[in-house]
Amino acid sequence: MGSTKFVSRPRFEDYKEKFKEYIVMERKNGIILLRMHTNGGHVKWNLMIHNALCQAWHEIGNDPENEVMILTSTGSVWIAESDETVNEGMEVKEGKLDLPYERGYYDSTKLVENLVFDVDIPTIGAVNGPGFHTEIALLCDITICTEKAQFQDAHFSIGFPPGDGQGLVFQELLGLKRAAYYLYTGKNIDAKTAFEWGLVNEVVSEGKLLNRAWEIAEMIMKQSRVNRRMTSQILRRPWKRLLINDFQVHLSHELYGIEKRGSVSHDFEAIRKSWEK
């Protein structure tokens, strides 16, 4: 005789605690807000938050109490820099970088794929300033940003191929020629231009970012649950096709480039200075 009980779904109280070192979560009336952070301040990128995010998408998507998701970051920048632990989880063998499958290929793949395939609810990216890995905000159904936000992919200019998702998103949203220029040059796209070119839907002042994100989420919540979820799947389908066709190829090229370069360290200081120009 088989079991007559359903396996329990993730509980907000549990995964809110589980991910709190990297993501502050709050939920109100079905709207879940995720705010990335490092020690309560702006995000310092490393393999741990990389790993946390790809797991968080899965649990958030598997909790039927979540109806709309808002993703944002802390302070005045999106992801500001890496920290001294950026290479933890990797090994150097005989003078060569060894990037383990789980920390390199798997987590890098699921950071993007789990957001698109597992979070079956409307999503809103709220970009609070310049920074890296804005692809996870641009892959949200709606993306808004502050006037100080800037978008770029500096991978090529700092020594390895742009294959972790940002470049692919640029190709889709900017077009092939425009994306190629910004991937080769690493130049910034400011908020006004990002709006004019269709990277973002709205540009708001810094103090109004989250209020506007909540307004949009509450507007979406006025529709029925089935309407919200089925519409999100219609809007997500082009991204799913793109990821299936191209993303793992892009990522494999980047990881090969990282191995040959021998390091994933970034010249964040030089890139941050470009935000101030």
Contacts of 129 (CB under 8 A, 6+ apart): 73, 75, 76, 77, 78, 146, 148, 149, 150, 206
Q: CB pairs under 8 A, 24+ apart, for 220-228?
A: 220/68, 220/122, 221/29, 221/30, 221/31, 221/67, 221/68, 225/67, 228/67, 228/68, 228/121, 228/122
- In the residue annotation, 135 being an active-site residue is answered as yes
Looking at this protein, which amino acid is placed at residue 162? P
Compute the 3-state secondary structure of the chain and give helix, strand, coil in percent, each to the nearest 5: 50, 20, 35
Give the active site residue among 59, 81, 135, 254: 135
Q: Which residues are catalytic?
A: 135
